[in-house]
Amino acid sequence: MARWQPDAPERLAAAALDLFEEHGYENTTVIEIAERAGLTKSTFFRYFKDKREVLFGGGTVAGLLVEAIAAAPPSSGPLDAVAEALEALGRTFFTVERREFSSRRQAVLNAHTELREREALKRIDLTAAMIEALNHRGVPSLTARVAAQLGTLAWQIAYDQWIDTDNSEGFGPLARQALAEVRAAGAVR
């Protein structure tokens, strides 16, 4: 593959995933990932600080969440704004084309404690991004925290269902359903 071709981060992520599956996370080097992607080590480090980060997409998801919360109709309540953001993820990031990659990625993460820990930190960062976006909408801090935490929970439920390659449902509808279930659980006495 020519080095000048676009989508270097995606090529690096695909190469890393293949190598992690073939040789294990611990046994794969940055140089091997770059070579498999047809790129150089310096190109790898232009996009990712280490081999762990190659599976976490930089700030792409957080940026999409923040933009979608900001773009939600002004009349939307905090959870509705979060629901809009989760649906936007389904339209732009968690697409049908990414389902197989995401499922394979999750299997690699599940097999390695270090990667599961990074995933947990990533969720914390996503929650913080949603809190900040809700605060910018004028949502009080505690309400923003609760809405973001519930949104993160709904996101995780929907993601776990979405990566099942036997599932044909899109991420957005799964996220809406998960958020509805989270809301219903909060109403149970």
CATH number at residue 175: 1.10.357.10
Are 45 and 121 in the same domain? no
* CATH code for position 37: 1.10.10.60
| pLDDT per residue as tens digits for the range 71-123 | 999 999 999 999 999 999 899 888 888 899 999 999 999 999 999 999 999 99
Per-residue confidence (pLDDT) for residue 1, from 0 to 100:
47
Exposure of 161 by Cβ count < 10 A (0-12 exposed, 13-18 middle, 19+ buried)?
middle
Residues 182 and 135 in one domain: yes
Q: Is residue 2 part of a domain?
A: no
Q: Is residue 170 situated within a structural domain?
A: yes
Q: How many domains does the chain have?
A: 2
Are 28 and 66 in the same domain? no
Per the document, the length of the chain is 189
Q: With 80 as the cut, is the pLDDT of residue 188 above it?
A: no
Q: Is the same domain home to 90 and 175?
A: yes
pLDDT tens for residues 34-56? 999 999 999 999 999 999 899 98
| Whole-number Cα distances in Å, 99 to 10, 19, 25, 95, 170 | 14, 19, 21, 7, 9
| Same domain (yes/no): 110, 82 | yes
Q: What is the pLDDT of residue 95?
A: 87
Is the residue at 43 inside a domain?
Answer: yes
93 in the same domain as 30: no
Shared domain check, 129 and 70: yes
* C-alpha to C-alpha distance for 106 and 149, rounded to whole angstroms: 21
Q: Is the CB of residue 51 less than 8 Å from the CB of residue 29?
A: yes
Q: Do the Cβ atoms of 170 and 96 come closer than 8 Å?
A: yes
Whether residues 131 and 93 fall in one domain: yes
- Give me the domain span that covers residue 181: 57-187
Is 162 inside any structural domain? yes
